[in-house]
Structure 1
Amino acid sequence: MRNQYMAKVLVYNKIVTEEQVNAYSGQVTDSKDIGQVLVEAGILKPAIYQKVLAYVRDLEAKNAQAESAAAANAAAIAAAKEKAAKETAKAKEQARPAAKPAAKAEAPKEPAPVSNDGGLQIEGNDIYGKSSISANEVETVAGLESTQLAEFKPTTVEPEPAPAAPATQAPAAAAVEESASALPERFAVESGEGAPVQAPETLAPTTPLAEMIAFARKFNATDIYLYPDRQVAMRQSGNIVPVTEDIMSVDELSRRLDEVGDCFDDGYKISQGENFSKTAGVPGVGRIRLSVTWFEGVPSASIRIIQAESASLESLYLPPFCESFAELTSGLVLIAGPSFSGRTTTMLTYAETIMRSREAYIQTVEKPIERLLRNTTGAVAQREVGLHVHSGVEGIKLAVNNGADVILFDHLENMEELSLLLQASNAGALVFAVTTGNNIHALLSRLLASVPEASRTSFAYTLAEQLKGVIVQQLVPVVQNQGLILACEAMKVTSTVANMIRKNDLSQIAAAISSQHDQGITLDDSLQKCVESGYIDGFEAWKRAYDNRRFASYRSAK
């Protein structure tokens, strides 16, 4: 199975082509896998092979654990069945009348065999290209349905069908309990690719949802809002504007939700009264994030348009020194800000910058996956909490065990996650983590205060050692509704700042950031530059400034 996994990972991540795999497949032996063959041929670099091999071994380990558990369960069921059969035979023997000849005991009927073709489910297809249902749950690699690897077909042995357990047996109850906490069987991550959907000239409540999304992308809207008995609205340049003349009825809103119901990555089905927020790939228009809330049996929906195109650090207008964070080989970089401030976009842009500049094995842990990454110089694995891993903690541990060079975490929710990320950076990984916060002083103070006092000193020393940079960002509307621009407070962690963190005394950190010049910038300085450059008006700066007295003269402008 190793050759199948390795070939698919290499092809999907565009490290090698499918033609190269098929051309060298004849040189594969029991002692030499396809990766080693490609290394010897000079097509695959040894460092990348080791990264892919670690990833494949993890998949094999999961498969082995699943098979071991299935075998143990089958043995327990067989033992219970044999015991039940003996007890039944004994009871019949005792109940038989003495005057009559012994009747032949009826053999218990064999249960119907469980269907299992032995293939592992990968995107709904097994390695032979046939539909299959696997009893084993493994992490799959997206986008590999069309890959043909006929040369790697192994000779498989059909497993013995496992007998069904009686309803009263403990193993059956254990299986039910296990299935309740299991991850979804479908591990695909849909990209929303397909025939492009053309944006209409105007919208109406009856317009199909895909066309609404295409319209939003055409006019750079970031969100679509569907509320019953209201006009359809979109957020453009930070402002919410109606885009239909007619109001949307409850029936039309339900139809729009039905249109996206089949696009969820994990096969989720919308249920009345159940609030949720999930990403989906809508064919022809890309990925979205749909949030639905219910009130008295009536739904309301907001749709976040997920950016499909790659960005550059230069296009984000971050301070120049922030570009150096992509050159780090280890350490922790925190990216903070309020909701809808573009934090995830900034984090993924760092990942794409690293991909373009050097070979790296990148793993993400996201809640949920938004934009899909393509690594042309290394390997990338994106995992969604609830879809590929049960929790953020499990995702971090998996990334560390797989030897990831770069870990992207979106977003921090508890101190256990932060502690594991600090351990990962201490072990040599470069970590980017998204969290909440309005300024650097408040963010670091909150992190330190979240740790029990008994262990705060050791935590502060670890944080001071591993933290390399902090970005706290906001998106501000550009004048005349021409879009949004990023204003931020950012800093490199210098020895001065690190000493403040160790001492748990951050009272002078704002002054330290201001004095760093080319290694730090305050939010107020960033807003001032945006005003002076003509990107934003002073009133927007006054609303967002840490010390709004600096922009008090603009207060009466509105």
Structure 2
Amino acid sequence: MIVNNGDLLPLSPMETPAKNAAPPAATPPPTPPPAQDFDFLAQMQDSSSSIDSLLAARAEAEEAEKRAKAAGETPLPYLKDDKKAKAASPAPAPKSMGFTIGGSADDADSPAGMSFIGNDLRRLSDATGMQSNSFEEYAPKAQAAPPPSQNRSGELDDLLPPTARPAAQSIGADEDRKAYIEPPRSLVETHINELLQRTVEFGASDLHLTTGLPPMVRKDGRVTPLPYDAATPREAQRMVYEILTTDQITTYERTHELDFSYGVSGVGRFRFNVYRQRSSLACAMRVIPNKIPSLDQLKLPPVIRELTRKHSGLVLVTGPTGSGKSTTIASIIDVINAERESHILTIEDPIEYLHGHKKSMVNQRELGGDTHSFNNALRAALREDPDVILVGEMRDLETIAAAITLAETGHLVFATLHTRSAPATIDRIVDVFPAHQQEQIRIQLSTSIEAVIAQQLMPKIGGGRVAAIEIMIATSALRNLIREGKTYQINSVIETGQQYGMQSMDRMLAELHRGGTVTYEEAATRAIDRENFQRLVKGY
């Protein structure tokens, strides 16, 4: 400040950059009026009386401050916490020709010193009638530091272009569905192995590739995007074609469908289904664990282990797609492989779990590479001396008829169907045949069937999935019902056959809900008979 003709005027501030200064304000401060050209010492001598009055006013202000402090008051709220004042001040106070009010020149170099300068200027403004906003108008404006990022995702968001932020943030919106929190990556040079590895790392069961969306993974029954850009038709085709053989490409382009298995060293095996949608390539990939889980790890009922000791008959594992049928059968085959000296023959499309030779000899045939059809492979199996036969899926009349015939001729046959319950499985097999053959099939099925295992995978409360399993064991009463076509009574036999290891789907669902494993709504939607399920939940 200077005195000119008895008036106290501010000098033009000389801003100097400070270390760790916060970024400047978005709106620059107004330009102060230009400093006037005068002799500072001469003006001080000519205005001694004015200075005396100013100093007296300053003394009065200091006395008022002392009285306020003695009374426990804080005259200047912005000086309650020097650390806050320091954090809010981006630059040191400007030096005005080495002349400071209310502190030394060294004090003015610090934010605290600047605060005391502001204190003195406010007191002087009150005593001299200066406008109260003169200091704020010409002093550098302090900018509050931006809040620290709560996590690394916040730092990444700051680096993302505006168009990319929503895609990256949408993945982490729901903690249960969160896959990766990172900016989306391009698929231009991405290999399919990278996507498969990320799928395994995320603990997902399936990977889907389609145009117009980033690669999608399924975890705990929910579909979640991986942090990649949306796939174009060219990128989707390139990634899949890179791992296909020439024969596989020819087959796909001729039929527009292709099934095969694929392994990635150090990652695992995967079952691929390549198809077309809207004239572009799409692909569904199922993760196949390297290690076959045991019956105990799958928490399957003890009666299933007893089925592995049978030497003939038909055992069916049923359920919707993705319900774990292949895993259940692989676990059963692994028990036989470890405990019995026998020949196990599998016919699959494609081969999923790999079985090594233990006590048994295991031969695995893949549709397309090792045989042209299930029917051909089953007819040839009669001459290959098998003890146990696995049929990957009973798709048509010929395959079903061949499987029943093999079970009747002294082989233990395992197969899968896409049905929800044991009674529905019996009806499905019989209904495949023409009306004039259905009675004969009922007779054959009643003598060859040993068990039906129907299962569903359900999301657990708190994450993960659990299997709800219905088990039908072929007793004499049940065989009679199949022979007579009274499948509508099978549920009653299952409910009363707990001593044989049977359990109904509705009872299993009720037990899972009462045990706090699944929600009522989820269990009710999976029930076979909703009214029966509600009675079982209530305990009668």
Measured against the shorter chain, the TM-score band is 0.5 to 0.7
Distance change (3 Å), C-alpha of 1:347 and 1:529: same
Q: Write the distance in 1 (CA, Å) between the matches of 2:438 and 2:191.
A: 54
Query: 1:248 and 2:217 equivalent?
Result: no
1:390-539 map, 5 Å: 390-481=372-463, 483-518=464-499, 519-539=501-521
Match of 1:228 in 2: 211
Q: CA deviation at 1:416?
A: 2.4
Q: Deviations over 1:498-531 (max 9, x none)?
A: 1111111122110000000132111111112222
Q: Deviations over 1:383-438 (max 9, x none)?
A: 12222112111111222211100000010022322222222222211110111211
Q: Tell me which amino acid in the other structure corresponds to 2:227.
A: T
Select 2:240's aligned residue among 238, 257, 262: 257
Q: Deviations over 1:312-350 (max 9, x none)?
A: 112222222122111111111011111121112211211
Q: Write the distance in 2 (CA, Å) between the matches of 1:434 and 1:551.
A: 26
Worse overlay, 330-339 or 221-230: 221-230
Distance change (3 Å), C-alpha of 1:388 and 1:480: same
**SS of residue in 2 equivalent to 1:235:** strand
Q: Write the distance in 2 (CA, Å) between the matches of 1:381 and 1:533.
A: 42
Worse overlay, 457-466 or 230-239: 457-466
Q: Write the distance in 1 (CA, Å) between the matches of 2:254 and 2:278.
A: 8
**SS of residue in 2 equivalent to 1:333:** strand
Retained in 1: the 8 A contact 2:507–2:533? Answer: no
Distance change (3 Å), C-alpha of 1:468 and 1:210: same
Q: CA deviation at 1:238?
A: 0.5
Distance change (3 Å), C-alpha of 1:272 and 1:493: closer
Match of 1:218 in 2: 201
Q: Write the distance in 2 (CA, Å) between the matches of 1:498 and 1:270.
A: 44
Q: Deviations over 1:208-265 (max 9, x none)?
A: 3212211211222011122222222110000011221632333432332233225x9x
Q: Write the distance in 2 (CA, Å) between the matches of 1:257 and 1:522.
A: 42
Retained in 2: the 8 A contact 1:365–1:384? Answer: yes
1:55-74 map, 5 Å: none
Retained in 1: the 8 A contact 2:507–2:536? Answer: no
Q: Tell me which amino acid in the other structure corresponds to 1:209.
A: I
Q: CA deviation at 1:475?
A: 0.9
Q: Write the distance in 2 (CA, Å) between the matches of 1:261 and 1:491.
A: 42
Match of 1:315 in 2: 297
Match of 2:330 in 1: 348
Q: CA deviation at 1:301?
A: 2.3
Match of 2:348 in 1: 366
Q: CA deviation at 1:274?
A: 5.5
Retained in 2: the 8 A contact 1:232–1:247? Answer: yes
Q: Tell me which amino acid in the other structure corresponds to 1:510.
A: N
Q: CA deviation at 1:540?
A: 1.1
Retained in 2: the 8 A contact 1:491–1:520? Answer: yes
Q: Deviations over 1:105-132 (max 9, x none)?
A: xxxxxxxxxxxxxxxxxxxxxxxxxxxx
Distance change (3 Å), C-alpha of 1:452 and 1:278: closer
Retained in 2: the 8 A contact 1:539–1:554? Answer: no
Retained in 1: the 8 A contact 2:510–2:536? Answer: no
Retained in 1: the 8 A contact 2:347–2:366? Answer: yes
Q: Tell me which amino acid in the other structure corresponds to 1:536.
A: V
Q: Write the distance in 2 (CA, Å) between the matches of 1:490 and 1:271.
A: 39
Query: 1:385 and 2:371 equivalent?
Result: no
Q: Write the distance in 2 (CA, Å) between the matches of 1:282 and 1:420.
A: 31
1:124-143 map, 5 Å: none
Distance change (3 Å), C-alpha of 1:531 and 1:204: farther
Q: Write the distance in 2 (CA, Å) between the matches of 1:417 and 1:410.
A: 10
Normalization by structure 2: what TM-score? 0.61
Retained in 2: the 8 A contact 1:276–1:291? Answer: yes
Q: Deviations over 1:167-214 (max 9, x none)?
A: xxxxxxxxxxxxxxxxxxxxxxxxxxxxxxxx9996734343212211
1:20-31 map, 5 Å: none
Q: Deviations over 1:11-53 (max 9, x none)?
A: xxxxxxxxxxxxxxxxxxxxxxxxxxxxxxxxxxxxxxxxxxx
Q: Tell me which amino acid in the other structure corresponds to 1:232.
A: P
Q: Write the distance in 1 (CA, Å) between the matches of 2:354 and 2:197.
A: 19
Structure 1: stretches of 5+ with no match in the other structure: 1-198
Retained in 1: the 8 A contact 2:205–2:287? Answer: yes
Retained in 2: the 8 A contact 1:279–1:287? Answer: no
Q: Which has the higher contact order (CA 8 A, sep 6+)?
A: 1
Match of 2:264 in 1: 283
**SS of residue in 2 equivalent to 1:401:** coil
Q: Write the distance in 2 (CA, Å) between the matches of 1:438 and 1:401.
A: 34
Q: Write the distance in 2 (CA, Å) between the matches of 1:540 and 1:244.
A: 30
Q: Write the distance in 2 (CA, Å) between the matches of 1:378 and 1:553.
A: 46
Normalization by structure 1: what TM-score? 0.59
Q: Write the distance in 2 (CA, Å) between the matches of 1:295 and 1:448.
A: 34
Q: Write the distance in 2 (CA, Å) between the matches of 1:389 and 1:465.
A: 29
1:172-191 map, 5 Å: none
Structure 2: stretches of 5+ with no match in the other structure: 1-178
